[in-house]
Amino acid sequence: MTATSRYSAVAIVLHWLIAAGILFMIWLGWNMDDNEFRFQLHKSIGITILMLTVARIIWRLMNPVPPLPAGMKHHEKALSRFVHFMFYALMLLMPLTGWLVVSTSYDFDIPTVIFGAVSWPDIPGVGFLSNELGHSIILNVHSKLAWVLIGLLALHVLGALKHEVTAEAGVLKRMLPGIFGSPDRPRPPPQGYFLAFGTAIALFVIIAFGPGLFTGSSSSQATPASPGEEVTANQVEPNWDVDYEASSIAFSGTHEGNRYSGEFSDWSAEIFFDPDNLDRARARVSVQTSTATANKKLYTDSLKSPEWFDPSGHPAATVDLTGFRKTEDGYTANAAITIKDSTVNVPFTFDLQIDGETANMQGEATVQRGPLDLGQKSDPGGEWVGEDVLIEVGVTASRTG
């Protein structure tokens, strides 16, 4: 027999890696318990399995596999080939239906971020399935395919064990690393490394970063439809110039009991403030919502979705500060905060130090995300994301002119 008697090292590694991944994924799928970390992990490993499967199929086509033992009966060979074919189909279908599940989610709008690092888009063109019926059918298919996998796995393991014991050369050994398995016979050198792994990596890169090819709801490439909303009402005659390099607008709150935080990198403020003329004091701030960055990519991506800041539809949020008063330990003003189409009024308290021509201000306000229509699709009850959001502002400014 000139054909190889064992699987190649690459085939063995891919086999056991994917097998372990799938077993873990079935367990994880059943134990996600509404835990966002587990959901993201499930999606990340699932997409990895999809890419490894692409590599594995190409590798299989490029490298001959050992023939089934000669002593196997005809129907056993047919069953074995059928099970292997079905495995390949399921290794593709499991992740693809999972990806379809998240792409057709109609009641949640949570992005996919692969291992916390790479934004993963939704499958394009499946909007017609993003409803209760379509989504539940796909979820059901994804869930039932796991049972088909388990059934196949049972047949596969039983087959491997039976022929390990009865077949002359054994079959399990051929899929074990050389130190455990049978000795190798001469075989053609493995080929197709570049094609197999290059294709898988290229596919991943094209889907994750290919502009315009895939534009899912998780798309972090969302760009504002217009440069910014006009600041029209009651323009302020500023008497301070803000040093934006030295100033910041930050936000923080809780997600699943952990603190999240972030800030906006592009905003502008027009400030008129004179401690001796508080009646005239006024500030108008315009914040480019697309520039919000948080401490986790998942949060940054989420903020760009329509249910949060919706920067494509509403590029700017505004804050109008009026009604300034001196307090015992600083100042307070009324902040009218407008995000998307909702406005809330909350107190903004701050400390101020004016030193000659320079002013330093540290202030904060707390808003509730409900009245601001933030995250009301995925978590209206504040089950995961805390209702309160703390906004902290630090401004360094110098007198105009």
Using CB under 6 A, list all residues that contact ligand HEM. 22, 25-26, 29-30, 32, 42-43, 46-47, 49, 94-95, 98-99, 101-102, 112, 139, 142-143, 146
Which of 22/337 has CB closer to ligand HEM? Answer: 22
Which of 310/379 has CB closer to ligand HEM? Answer: 379
Report the run of H or E that residue 300 belongs to, with start and end.
helix 297-303
Residue 190: partners with Cβ closer than 8 Å, 6 or more residues away: 8, 9, 10, 63
How far is it, in rounded angstroms, from Cα 120 to Cα 39?
14
**Residue 262 CB, nearest approach to ligand HEM (Å):** 25
**Residue 17 CB, nearest approach to ligand HEM (Å):** 12
Task: Kindly report each contact of residues 355-360 with a partner whose C-beta sits within 8 Å and lies 24 or more positions away, as own/partner.
Answer: 357/398, 357/399, 358/396, 358/397, 358/398, 359/240, 359/273, 359/395, 359/396, 359/397, 359/398, 359/399, 360/394, 360/395, 360/396
**Residue 145 CB, nearest approach to ligand HEM (Å):** 8
Residue 10 three-state SS: helix
Which of 140/327 has CB closer to ligand HEM? Answer: 140
**Residue 81 CB, nearest approach to ligand HEM (Å):** 22
**Residue 119 CB, nearest approach to ligand HEM (Å):** 13
Residue 6: partners with Cβ closer than 8 Å, 6 or more residues away: 66, 173, 174, 178, 181, 182, 184, 185, 187
How far is it, in rounded angstroms, from Cα 42 to Cα 27?
10
Which of 43/340 has CB closer to ligand HEM? Answer: 43
How far is it, in rounded angstroms, from Cα 258 to Cα 384?
10
Which of 262/375 has CB closer to ligand HEM? Answer: 375
Q: Which amino acid is at 284?
A: R
How far is it, in rounded angstroms, from Cα 4 to Cα 19?
23
How far is it, in rounded angstroms, from Cα 265 to Cα 285?
13
**Residue 211 CB, nearest approach to ligand HEM (Å):** 21
**Residue 125 CB, nearest approach to ligand HEM (Å):** 16
How far is it, in rounded angstroms, from Cα 229 to Cα 340?
11
Which of 204/331 has CB closer to ligand HEM? Answer: 204
Which of 19/175 has CB closer to ligand HEM? Answer: 19
Residue 39 three-state SS: helix
Residue 361 three-state SS: strand
DSSP classification of residue 279: G
How far is it, in rounded angstroms, from Cα 272 to Cα 5?
83
**Residue 65 CB, nearest approach to ligand HEM (Å):** 22
Which of 8/104 has CB closer to ligand HEM? Answer: 104
Which of 98/386 has CB closer to ligand HEM? Answer: 98
Contact between 334 and 296 under an 8 Å Cβ cutoff? The reply is: no
**Residue 25 CB, nearest approach to ligand HEM (Å):** 4
